[in-house]
Each structure stands twice: as C-alpha cells, then as structure tokens.
Structure 1
C-alpha cells in the first residue's frame, strides 16, 4: 500500500466517523516557543491548553513534522529521520477511551477491501499505563485482545505530558510483531525492535504541575474535559504495510535513496559507510524540499540554519559518495525526485517546484564555493594541529570556519573525525554565544511584546475577531475590549503606561504582508489619549494596538475615537502598490519562476525580495524601472475583491510562496498587469504613485535577491539630490554631464596605475634589505636565525617575498629560520620560513607562527616551510619575534 494511500485511508476512516479533516499546518510553527512543528498535535496545542476554543469536537490530520534533535543520528541508523508525517485523530471533550480504542483496532484490522489496513490481529500487542485498569479492560473485554498481549508500563513509557504544566495523562501504545527474525519473544517490554510501535493513543485526563523531568511532577487534578490525542507515524506504518525492513526502503524515502545511489554510482546495502551517506541524502533532501515549500530560506539563524545545515550535509555526503574530485551538482535532480514522490499528498509541491529548485540550487552553488575555500582553511588548520603534536582541532578555527565560510559545526566535526581529530567544542560554543550576546535582540520579541500568547487567545475567545474598517475608513468609534500592561490584563491604563489595546473595531492596519502598521491616536471622550505607534496580530483575527498613554486614563469598556495618521497611510499605500508593479515587472524581465520572498512597505520607500540565482544587470534594472513607471503613468484603476482561493488561482492571481491562505481570499488587481492575493492597503489608481525610483539590487541570502525603491515625493527628492550631485561633479571636473562617466573612468585608471607603481617601489625597497638581513643572521642554538620588524605600511605579500628571499640567500647549510613582522593596515602580521634542513631538525613554520600569533592576540598557520599569522596587538610585535627565537632555542 503506497504511503499516500495509507494517509488517505486514515483520514477517510475518521471522516466517516464524524471527524473534521484538518489540512497539515505549515512546518513553520505559529507557537513562538517552537522553531518548527515537531509533533502532530502542535497545531491543536492552543485547544488542549484552553487558550482557544476548538471549532470542532473531533478532528483528524496528517501533519508534516521536523525534529532537529536527532539530526546527527540521521543516517547512522535506519529509523532516525528529520522529517516525518504524523497521522492523528483528536477529541476535544467529546469521546474518550471507550471510543478511541475500538476506532484504532477497527482501522488496523479491518480488511483492505473494507477500508482498513488489514493487519493480522494475532500480531498486535498493546501497552497500558501501570494503573490504567480502564484501558486494559476495554482492550480485553470490548476489543477481545488476549490478556497475555496487553503489557503494563510506567511513567517513562506510558504517560504523556507536554513537558510543562498543563494537560497530561496515560497512554496506550499499539505494537506490531514483525516476527522471530527481528528479535526475541516477549512483547514490547522484551524487544521494541521486533515489536514495532505503530500508534500511540494519549488519554488527556489530568492537569500536571511543574517538575524537573518527564516523571517528576505533581498531578493537580482532573481536567474539566477529557481529550484524546493520537499519533501514528506514517513512514513506520508504510514500512509495515509495504513489507520492508525500515523507512528508507519505503516508496518515498526509498525512491530518493535509489536515485542518490544511481547519481553517485553506488549501491545500497553493500557498505555501511555508503549506506549511512545514502540515508543522510535521502532524508535531508526530502526535509529540505518540505521546508523550502513552507517558505523557509537558508540562513545562519533559527529555521534558516536548520535548513542550511541539512542541505549542506546532504551536498557533502553526495560529494563523498561520488568521489572527492567530483564537482557535479546533484540537488536539482534529487529535489525533483522528492517533489515527485511527495506531491501525491502535497500537490502544492508541483505548483511551486520552480521556486523550490531556485532556492536549493542556489544553496548548492554557494556551498560548492564554500567547500573549496573552507576546506583549504580546514586542511591547513588540521595540518597545523597534527604537526604540533595535538589531537584536538582548535575551537577558534572551527568558529572561523562557521563565521567566515558558513561551515556548520557538525561538518567540521565530521571532517575532523575523518582525520582522527576531535574538536574543541567548548571554545566554539563560547565564541558562538559571545557573538549572539553582542548581536541585536531578536526583532520578533520586540513585535510580540512580553505578554503570554494565551492572554491574546483568551481575549479573542471572549470578544471575537476585531472588525477591520481600514480599507474604507481612517477613523472609527470603537469600544475598548481589553488592556494589557507589562504583559498582564488590566482594567485601567494611566498616563505614562506602555499599553496594548484591543478594540471591537478599528481603522488601524496591523503589520502583515510586508506592510508596516498604521500610527495614530485613540482618545476616550476627553478622559485619556493614547499615541499608537504599532499594531500587531499576535493571534489571527485579533488587532493589538501598542502605544503610550499620553494623558489621562483609559478603561475597559470605554468608548473611544480611533484615528490613523492619514498622510502616513497614503504614503505606505503608495509603496505597497509600487511593490505589486515591481513584482510583475521583475517576472516579465527574469521569467515567471521569479517569486516573492518577502517585502517591506514603509512611508515612501520599499524593499522587495525575490528568488533568483544571479544578480540583475544594470540594463535589466533600468528596464524594470522604465516598465513600472510606464504602467503607473497610465493611471490604472486598482481594484480589490473577495473570492475563493481556487477561483483566485484560476484567474492567475499570484500567491506568496510559502504563505498559507484560507478558503476566502482578497485579490488586488491592476487591470491585467498585476493580480495578487493581498490583505494590504493600496492607492485607488496607479497615477497616485507619481514616480518609482529603483535604488539598487543586492543579495540577501542563498538564492534570494533584493531591490529597494523610493516612491512618490521620496523618489522625487532622491532624483533631485542625485541631479544636484551630478551638477557639482560636472562643475568640479569641468566636464559636461554626459561625459562624466568616461572622465571618471580615466581618473580612476590613472589612480590605480599610480598605486601599483608605488606598491612596486615599496616592495623593491623592502627587498633591498634582504642582503643585509641575511648577512646579519644570528646563531640561535644550532640554527641561523633572522628576526626583523619592517616599517608599517607594507603588505602581507611584501613580508612573504622578503622572508623567502632571505631564506634563499642563507641556503641549506644547516637549519635556517627567518621571521619577519609588520603592521599593515594597523593589524600585526608575522611570516615565518624554515629551510629543509630546519624542517628535518623538527622546526616547522606553522608551529612558530602560532607561537608569535598567540602573543599578538590572534592565530595563523600554514605549511612546515612557510606560514603566516596575525593578531590585534600591534604593540607586541617585538615580543612575538623574541618568543619565536625562544622556541627555536628550545627546539634545536
């Protein structure tokens, strides 16, 4: 039975039994405490916690999940995976044990032709919590399972909670006996490899208190309503129903793994190292595809880092499989395979295939460049470590690989292990934390404030969604439904308080879809006045106005007058409409595969991020700008209307890649030129934009580019300023405007030629000292040694040439060491060279540079014959050279 059919059969069974089938939520969790959705019940968590009221009493879903804690184990075993799908049925105060247990038994054991999975009842075992007599009785007396196939287990195995105070309860797990070939008899308590868990039925009936571990907490009492939460691993069930040993041999992961083997010229099942790499590739390519499809982009933080890490692990493992010299790109082909096998359940993968490929292909190209440069640095550092007689790779070097070359620490760990080295992870983690501590506070925390999300959810449940009037009105008469100060609900807010207000109706636009929030005032009949500077929607449907009470006080139930800053709104709306025009122009210029990857619409200015693998040319930018301004000059009417999602997509409306939409959507169209799904505010006609001026284009991440633009009066001011600047240059250079580019090119060429000539003269001057330095070499131990500090202003290349020249003059008659230091660009640099005779006596340039670099407050390394390092303390140059001499005297 194919994986997609298993999911369909599960959902159909529960739909026929009164459940609402809920589509999988995005992998990007709404819960701010989670990085990614990691369990099937996560989308329903607010209902179980009582933060929100469920819109249904019974539900079933097939939920996409990603777990990151086991990423390092993926590939090493045939059971770990970073992406998985969880089938689940849920009851919110409706049915309980007496209903859910028979549901599970019927679906598992009913014949295939009757809609079941057709499992042999004689091969099913269950476990129950050690004192759950009720569950055992239902299994034995109602279902008919023999007592000898019902086993009792303790808190560690058969009791569930979220890990925090809240709902909890015992669970009953269902196991399938795979037979004697997989282990010993005796049920799940004897062997969980032979007896494979296929379904966990959680009975939420208690409320737990705080605790330190999974088993250390107090049961506070019964829940007002008993709930059901079940989870069946789709991949694991597929392995059983398809008669294969593990999830990597199923029709989804197995197909991707087979393609990876074909592309790399390897075979699965003959070599354990090869098998590990193939499993890593199969799992990670699928996970990356699903993450990108949900709008995640590779980056260096949070979800972006998870995606970058798994992509780079899969790319490197493909390189290892194909051979170290292989430099082909594989991800496009593998991603296409993942899209094909997963699109049966997620058809949006086919729709967004081009955009998914764009992101993943760009990351592979970037990482190919990274591997070339970063691997060279790694090899030098590893060589330096071994030459020095050490077995631990420097934490500082690991951090540099991460910070400068984008190497995930796990990649450095793998490469180090391949060379028999460990890594100083303590120092690496310390440097990472230091970097995080000096970075700006996460922007999201600023937007969400410090109130618990449950506060907002309770307001929404108690008062309903905010009525947004802002498409037509700039002012409204409203009522205060809630006030929050310092994260806590209050009845009154007074002058000076930083407050959050919830109104029953509002003209204020809440920040979303790239459009910044409105600003304005909320006044209560002369009693109080609030300056609103931000509006957010911490839970869908609830507008939260944030501001400061300027005077008086506001109270819950006050009738207030809410008014936005109309000029600011108009300016932001012009930017938003310009964004739609730029989006269409970019697609016309670069192709329909160019998708929106984010935007921000400010008063008079905008930025628009889009998927692309290369920078735009100046000609392309100019063409886009001209097209936008030609269209807006036509004064096209801007129209918005509501329709169904299917109808909107059928008429060609663009949806933002990775965004989730409801059944009803708002479409904003500008004739046939632009048609998008959008909830933002816009101008009535494009002529009101005045003019749009593109300010530039740049890269903001792997496969993502950004254009910025000024709109309206801001664009005019920009053009006026540039015109004035051009006039000033024309006057100063005594050159007509149209000849300025050629004149400036000529001046720059002359300046560069002069700089090169000066550099040659300086290098020649430095090398003139070589003869004198060689003649004055001193005896240090058994070696002839030259240490010298050159004048500031020289380059690292100058130092290297001087060192090699002096070493060459001293020949091979005995050990020779030359160490020269300087301070180019205010940062000290030291270069050391050792001749062959010196190397044979145990002297190594890499080690000696390390001695000097540590004194300078830095690091460095290189080969045994020549090495370069540096630091930050320019005052320690002489001390560093003396340290080199001291080490030589101790060595020879």
Structure 2
C-alpha cells in the first residue's frame, strides 16, 4: 500500500499529522509504515527556504528596516518572497541583495534551530512575521550571526549547501508590496546554461560570437537607424512630388476650391500627413484623398474653417461617398476618414464627391 503525503500539520500539541491521498492498496489502524522522503525535492526546497531567510535579512540591510515579509512560498523549483517597500528596486539594489546573499552562502554559516519560549525568542532578536499568532513555544532558526527568525520549516545545515542564489525578477503585486522570485543551487546552474544557449543562438543569427554580440547589435541598430532615416527622406521626396501632381487637379465649386485625388499604397497615416501638407498649400478649400492598399480602400477628407462656414462638412462628405467603395465612416466638419472593401468603386467615389459638395455649399 502507498500513501502520498501532500502536506503536514501540527495536531495535539507536538504531534504532526501527515495529510494526503492513498494511491494504492489499503491502510488500517495499527499498520506499520515506512516513510520515504524525496531526497532531491527536500534538498532543493531546503535550499530555497534557507535562501529566503538570507534574502529577507539582505533586503533589510540594503533597503532599510521598513522591509517586512508580506508573503512567502518555496518549493523545489524556486522561492517567491513578498515584502513591504514603497518603490521598484533599482538594478543596483537587486545586485547588492544578490551579492550579499551569495556572500553569506560562501561564508558557510552554520544553520542552527532551537525550540524556546516566545519571550526568550524575542529577546534573542528573532524576527517574527508581523500579525502572525504564535504559541508559547516557538522554533528559532539562526544562520550564523546574520539571520535569526521564527520558522518551523525545513532548512539546510549550513548555508554553503545552498550553492548559489540568483534573483530572476522583482515587481509590484499590490500597493506598497514588492515580489522577488529567485533560484538556488542546481536551478541556478540550469538557468545560466539556458541563458548561454540562448546567447549562442542569438549570436549565430547575426553571425557574431557571444563576446562580440553586443557590439554587433549596436552596429545593426546604427544601420537600421540610417535605413529608417533614408526611408523617411525618400517618403518626403515622394510626398513633395505627389503634392506637385495633385495640385493640378484643383477645381472650384461655387467659389470653393476642391481637390480630389486617388493614390496608391498609402495608409491612413500617410493620407493625413499628405492632407495636412495639401491644406497648407491650398490655403482654403476641401481635400479628398483616396488610396488603395492591400485590397482595401482608405478615404480621408479635410475642410478649412472658412469653407465649413459656407456649408462644407468633411464628415458628411465622406459618409456620402464611402458607400461607393463598400464602406462607411464619418467625422468632424474639418476632418474625417473612412474605409472600404471595394477598390473598384474608387472612380465612382471621386465622381460623386463634387456633386455632394455642391449640394452642401449654400
């Protein structure tokens, strides 16, 4: 018969109850059982738990004595520790905590436990969890002269058994509460091995070595910046060229200048930028720009304040003609935009626009 222990609890004073599930066979009162501990799981959990004690003390030394435990969880994979602090830790503070914990690990501090009265424990300087209720007797865990806490958990015999300590992350979980997640022992080595593998993969992608990767990335960033600058310059030149071409299409409708033009492969942002330039060059009037891009249609209209007073309305204009390209839209009197799904209707939209505008103007 087998029984998987999932947790333990103190019952009837010093007795400990093992709680879990029967995974095979049957048990009856009086059976003699053999306890088998998962040695690796226990060892890794001990490492994480003891490292958490060192970390809490290190946090108080680096950040200040306002740091108090607000939550904690350890298993064989990692440790998670919540603590009171008023802002995100800096990279320098995280490194200082990490370095101090690793220093205490390398010093090989003996980890000693003792059961004593609560008052004696307080006199010894043991740190207690704020708001926690303790019995008359408590267990004190002391790591050299560095850390002394009330704790009933499992620990290493000497801090050197923790091996290594690495902080993975630090972030906020509530107002005034920060959370650190960290690794110890074999898990730190596995973490660095994974990081090394990823670094080699990244270096391979840009045809560099891990040693030259940073310089290679900086060079690529400079090249990308130059390409973007050149691209923007070309776009500006194309826009200026387009301005000259479309200005020839200006017509007058009841004394209002109207400019309508169809363009290729220009997105909505591009239409707005071009529209602003055209409006400045036109001075007064209404502008309609339509572009097909990726099988879809973008429409944008602008009207200057003076022609709006005469009845022109960019939103109503675009709403009326967008149906010609299988779409819809609207907007303010001075600026509106729409989208459509039928590029074949662009010519009809351009033809319909002057008639719509003419009806608006009084």
State the TM-score, normalizing by the size of structure 1.
0.32
Say which one has the larger Rg: 2
C-alpha displacement of 1:804 = 1.1
Q: Is the 8 A contact 2:318 2:337 kept in 1?
A: no
Whether the 8 Å contact between 1:817 and 1:835 is mirrored in structure 2 is: no
1:871-886 correspondence runs (5 A): 876=341
Q: 2:276: which partner in 1?
A: 804
Change (3 A) 1:767 1:703: farther
Say if 2:313 is the partner of 1:843: yes
Residue 171 of structure 1 is matched in structure 2 by none
1:572 equivalent to 2:41? Answer no
Which of 95, 109, 113 aligns to 1:636? It is 109
Distance 2:189 2:149 in 1: 27
Change (3 A) 1:559 1:808: farther
Cα distance, 1:588 vs structure 2: 1.9
Q: Which residue of 1 is the match for residue 134 of structure 2? A: 662
Cα drift, residue 631 of structure 1: 0.5
- Judged with a 3 Å threshold, the aligned counterparts in structure 2 of structure 1 residues 763 and 660 are, in CA distance, closer, same or farther, namely farther
Q: Which has the higher contact order (CA 8 A, sep 6+)?
A: 2
Contact 2:268-2:300 at 8 Å conserved across structures: no
Paired residues, what number? 341
**3-state SS of the aligned residue for 1:681?**
coil
Match of 1:791 among 265, 278, 283: 265
Change in Cα spacing, 1:644 to 1:829, as seen in structure 2 (3 Å) is: farther
Contact 1:807 1:818 in 2 (8 A): no
Residues 393-408 of structure 1 correspond to what in structure 2 (within 5 A)?
none
Q: 1:484: which partner in 2?
A: none
Answer whether contact 2:98 2:165 (CA < 8 A) is retained: yes
Alpha-carbon shift at residue 865 of structure 1 (Å): 4.2
Stretches of structure 1 that go unaligned for 5 or more consecutive residues are: 1-525
Deviations 1:463-503 (A, max 9, x none): xxxxxxxxxxxxxxxxxxxxxxxxxxxxxxxxxxxxxxxxx
Does 1:674 pair with 2:164? no
Which residue pairs with 1:834 in the alignment?
303
C-alpha separation between the residues in 1 aligned to 2:4 and 2:245?
75
**2:107 matches 1:621:** no
In the aligned structure 1, how far is the partner of 2:30 from the partner of 2:257?
A: 90
Deviation of the 1:712 alpha carbon: 0.6
Cα distance in 2 for partners of 1:771, 1:544 equals: 85
Matched residue of 1:769: which SS?
A: helix
Give yes or no for contact 1:803–1:833 (8 Å, CA) kept in 2: yes
Contact kept in structure 1, 2:50 and 2:159, CA below 8 Å: yes
What CA distance in whole angstroms lies between the structure 2 residues aligned with 1:846 and 1:651? 81
For the residues of structure 1 that align with 2:116 and 2:330, how far apart are their CA atoms? 63
Alpha-carbon spacing, 1:729–1:891, altered in 2? closer, same or farther (3 Å): same
Q: What TM-score results when the alignment is normalised by the length of structure 2?
A: 0.69
The verdict on how the C-alpha distance between 1:746 and 1:891 changes in structure 2, with shifts beyond 3 A counting, is same
> Any stretches of 5+ residues in structure 2 without a counterpart?
none
Structure 1 residue matching 2:50: 3-state secondary structure: helix
Secondary structure of the structure 2 residue equivalent to 1:640: strand
8 Å Cα contact 1:643/1:666 also seen in 2: yes
CA separation of 1:563 and 1:589: change in aligned 2, threshold 3 A: same
CA deviations 1:244-265 (Å, max 9, x no partner) are xxxxxxxxxxxxxxxxxxxxxx
SS of the residue corresponding to residue 668 of structure 1 reads strand
Q: Tell me how far apart the structure 1 counterparts of residues 117 and 251 of structure 2 sit (CA, whole Å).
A: 87
